[in-house]
Amino acid sequence: MRKSIATVSVSGSLTEKLEAVARAGFDAVEIFENDLLGCPLSPEQIRERAESLGLGIDLYQPFRDFEAVSPGRLADNLRRAEHKFRVMKRLGTDMMLVCSNVSPGAVDDDALAAEQLRLLAERAADHGIRIAYEALAWGRHVDTYLHAWRIVRMADHPNLGTCLDSFHILSRGSDPGGIEAIPGDKIFFLQLADAPLLAMDVLQWSRHYRCFPGQGGFDLAGLLAHVLRTGYAGPLSLEIFNDSFRQADTGRTAVDAMRSLIALEESVAQVLGTGSPLPRPVQPDGFAFAELATRDHKRLGRLLGALGFARTGQHETKPVELWEQGLARILIDRLHPESPTDTSLVAIGLESPDPALSAERAKALLSPVLPRHRAPGEAPLEAVAAPDGTELFFCDAGRPAWREDFDAVTPPVGHIGRIDHVALSHPWDQFDEAALFYRSVLGLRPHESVEVADPYGLLRSRAMSNAAGTLRLALNIAHVGARGLPGQHIALADDDIVATARRLRALPDDVLLPIPDNYYDDLRARFDLGEERHRELRELGLMYDRDDDGGGEFLHLYTVTVGRVFFEIVQRVGGYRGFGMANTPVRLAAQHASAPAAPAPDR
């Protein structure tokens, strides 16, 4: 399907936008009027620029407040239209979007609206131009797609059709099934936008919170299936008004946009039962390893040692150590002692049932493939870059080939058995991109986005997991500002966290984050745990949570922070599925208290 994007959807000057969307593989653009007005190039030069980039200009928009007006206003509007037609001719585009009148002066009269749109279509026809009439969700009288279609049908002119915009349809709760009653050749254009499900004024929602398909809560594949069943053969065009995208890196947003359309084509193929355009998703089963880079490997090693890990190997050719306990594996990349980089998470190994297929899918969804500098004999690992720059390696499950690169001894058996989850930190403008990446590339299921109060800011977090619940990621938004905390951590699954906590408390070094007493006073009110259990949690500094239905229980504790990373130790009891988010505000405050005025994380 032809892929297009409205220039309003990405940041930058018009020429920057054209270059970025061409590079991301789009076939065409909708030129948003403001982008043209502020551009130093003439319409002819814009046309040439687009052409040289291989981009068509599929639509010019928006033409506002045209229909259902007084005769005096109509003459004025037709004069405006004539001018736009000439500009469009110079641009080389033959479709103009007219959105439904929002002015208080608009008349509530469908016959009048139809008559005037017919007049506009006749004028347009003289220039070889077609008019796509779109219902804005906040239109004065026309605010649903079926109403716009009734008027188009009434006007009955070959140069007048309708433009469907998924946001206006789904934000109003309209049933998209009605689309199938519109003949495909009268749907002149299709605009696609998703949005998070928010309870707010629809105009504000549309102008600030739209996002790419798959990043919000609308069923775009369902809507698109209805559109395609009409025989519509025009472009799929993204039209995204979003405050973050407006400021974000243009090239990145354009790639994110293209990824969303590729993933949407796959989803709609599923709905329609047609062949999938992509290598099928392969959900990873679990973590093969987490890799940390540090210039202070001794300190990190001491902390891992205290947690019961042993250094079981040294990479044959690289300054990389392997630390293990049970099936939990941590790689420590030794940085030069003078490296400017703080200790941080740099890579994750994902156990995949089919690593080559995982990598193929990641590539098809535009993930940057990482060059592997392999020494002879080293395990070939497929790797791609996640949105936050973390390297993702696709590894065999079981006894992994990569482990042969280490002259390793048998790992110790302790209470920690594996990595439970990894939390990754993203800049605020890459949060939606990250959620779509993990959902589409790895086939993970997104959980609800949650916001947690931090004494110096707000933490946004969204968990992603595989169907079996054996692989969990937490996507966090990194704080901006001087008092941002590291958002990265590795959570380790423990089968007897009480014993582990007792052992760690007895160590001479403080390796655990102290939890304020007030937390335990409140815990007593939240849960009826019994005196003895409550005292034990308080003494050991363990945090506690329980599923809402009272089913599963969660016990967890945190280590001190090294550089930008800390560890969490968790024990899930009775199938607890969450992440102890109820305790996160207390944890964040405790981390601030023990690391006052930590430097802001680098982006």
Binding residues for Mg(2+), as ranges, are 421, 489, 568
**Choice between 136 and 543, CB closer to ligand DHB:** 136
According to DSSP, the residues that pair with 545 across neighbouring strands are: 554
Question: What part of residues 150-169 is at the interface with ligand DHB (CB under 6 A)?
Answer: 165
**What is the closest distance, in whole angstroms, from the C-beta atom of residue 48 to Mg ion in the complex?**
27
**What is the closest distance, in whole angstroms, from the C-beta atom of residue 268 to ligand DHB in the complex?**
21
Give every CB contact of residue 421 below 8 A, 6+ residues apart in sequence.
463, 472, 473, 474, 491, 570, 579
**Choice between 166 and 267, CB closer to Mg ion:** 166
165 lies in the site for Mg ion, by CB under 5 A: yes
Among 162, 191, 242, 358, interactor with Mg ion by CB under 5 A: 191
Among 2, 83, 86, 207, interactor with ligand DHB by CB under 6 A: 207
134 lies in the site for ligand DHB, by CB under 6 A: yes
Residue 11 binding target from Mg ion, ligand DHB, none, CB below 5 to 8 Å by type:
none
429 lies in the site for Mg ion, by CB under 5 A: no
**What is the closest distance, in whole angstroms, from the C-beta atom of residue 167 to ligand DHB in the complex?**
6
Annotated binding site for a divalent metal cation: 134, 165, 191, 239
> How many of the other CB atoms lie within 10 Å of CB of 254?
27
**What is the closest distance, in whole angstroms, from the C-beta atom of residue 226 to Mg ion in the complex?**
17
Q: How far apart are CA 377 and CA 273, in angstroms?
A: 44
**What is the closest distance, in whole angstroms, from the C-beta atom of residue 112 to ligand DHB in the complex?**
22
**What is the closest distance, in whole angstroms, from the C-beta atom of residue 99 to ligand DHB in the complex?**
5
Confirm if 362 and 384 have CB atoms less than 8 A apart.
Answer: yes
According to DSSP, the residues that pair with 347 across neighbouring strands are: 291, 391
**What is the closest distance, in whole angstroms, from the C-beta atom of residue 205 to ligand DHB in the complex?**
10
9 lies in the site for Mg ion, by CB under 5 A: no
Q: What is the CA radius of gyration of the chain?
A: 28
Per DSSP, the three-state class of 329 is strand
Binding mask 47-66 for ligand DHB (x = CB under 6 A): --------------xx----
Calculate ∠ Cα 327-318-565, nearest 5°.
Answer: 55
Question: What part of residues 92-111 is at the interface with ligand DHB (CB under 6 A)?
Answer: 97, 99
**What is the closest distance, in whole angstroms, from the C-beta atom of residue 198 to ligand DHB in the complex?**
16
**Choice between 133 and 287, CB closer to Mg ion:** 133
583 lies in the site for Mg ion, by CB under 5 A: no
**What is the closest distance, in whole angstroms, from the C-beta atom of residue 200 to ligand DHB in the complex?**
15
Q: How far apart are CA 440 and CA 438, in angstroms?
A: 6
Question: What part of residues 242-271 is at the interface with Mg ion (CB under 5 A)?
Answer: none
Q: How far apart are CA 374 and CA 391, in angstroms?
A: 15
136 lies in the site for ligand DHB, by CB under 6 A: yes
Q: How far apart are CA 566 and CA 492, in angstroms?
A: 11
Residue 14 binding target from Mg ion, ligand DHB, none, CB below 5 to 8 Å by type:
none
Listed ranges 23-31, 120-128, 235-243, 384-392: which one lies at the site for Mg ion (CB under 5 A): 235-243
Q: How far apart are CA 19 and CA 173, in angstroms?
A: 36
Structure tokens at 528: 């009826």
**Choice between 99 and 557, CB closer to ligand DHB:** 99
396 lies in the site for ligand DHB, by CB under 6 A: no
> Cα 199 from chain centroid?
20
Beta strands in 1-55 (DSSP E): 3-6, 28-32
Confirm if 210 and 167 have CB atoms less than 8 A apart.
Answer: yes
C-alpha distances in Å from residue 249, one per residue of 16, 259, 602: 11, 16, 16
**Choice between 7 and 440, CB closer to ligand DHB:** 7
Beta strands in 455-529 (DSSP E): 457-465, 472-477, 488-494
Residue 309's nearest CA partner among 286, 331, 287, 334 is 331
Report which DSSP code applies to 456: T
Report which DSSP code applies to 218: S
> How many of the other CB atoms lie within 10 Å of CB of 222?
15
**Choice between 29 and 136, CB closer to ligand DHB:** 136
Question: What part of residues 236-265 is at the interface with ligand DHB (CB under 6 A)?
Answer: 239
Taking the CA atoms of 99, 265, 217 and 246 in sequence, report the sign of the dihedral they define: negative
The size of the interface with Mg ion (CB under 5 A), counted in residues, is 3
**Choice between 189 and 519, CB closer to ligand DHB:** 189
Residue 593's nearest CA partner among 507, 537, 526, 519 is 519
Residue 61 binding target from ligand DHB, Mg ion, none, CB below 5 to 8 Å by type:
ligand DHB
Confirm if 572 and 554 have CB atoms less than 8 A apart.
Answer: yes
| Residues in contact with Mg ion by the rule CB under 5 A | 165, 191, 239
| Residues in contact with ligand DHB by the rule CB under 6 A | 61-62, 97, 99, 134, 136, 165, 191, 206-207, 239
